[in-house]
């Protein structure tokens, strides 16, 4: 069965207003993805970078949103076959 898993940089720091001011750097994100691939014995078919619309609920604790504003979060998607 064709499956995928999405990885987003983890928030590392918040500013005075509670908004995320620093995210996990890309080399650390890639190390986390590689660790998952190794631990799960995944054979990736494809890896892509996406900008995925963020749901307000996902960001509620991170930033204050204007309801008319749509934010996108960078996501690394790993496609694989699952037995």
Domain range list for the chain:
2-81
pLDDT on residue 35: 97
In the predicted model, is pLDDT for residue 12 greater than 70? yes
The confidence score (pLDDT) of residue 33 equals 96
Burial 31-55 (b: 16+ CB within 10 A, else e): eebeeebeeeebeeeeeeeeeeebe
Confidence tier at 13 by pLDDT (50, 70, 90): confident
pLDDT digits (tens, 9 = 90+) for 47-70: 999 987 765 555 544 455 555 556
What pLDDT sits at residue 24? 87
Overall pTM > 0.75: no
Q: Contact at 8 Å (CB) between 73 and 8?
A: yes
């Amino acid at each position: 069965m064709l499956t995928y898993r999405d990885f987003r940089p983890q928030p590392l720091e918040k500013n005075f207003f509670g908004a995320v001011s620093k995210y996990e750097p890309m080399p650390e994100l890639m190390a986390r993805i590689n660790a998952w691939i190794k631990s799960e014995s995944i054979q990736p078919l494809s890896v892509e970078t996406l900008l995925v619309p963020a749901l307000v609920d996902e960001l509620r604790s991170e930033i204050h949103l204007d309801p008319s504003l749509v934010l996108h979060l960078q996501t690394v998607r790993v496609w694989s076959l699952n037995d």
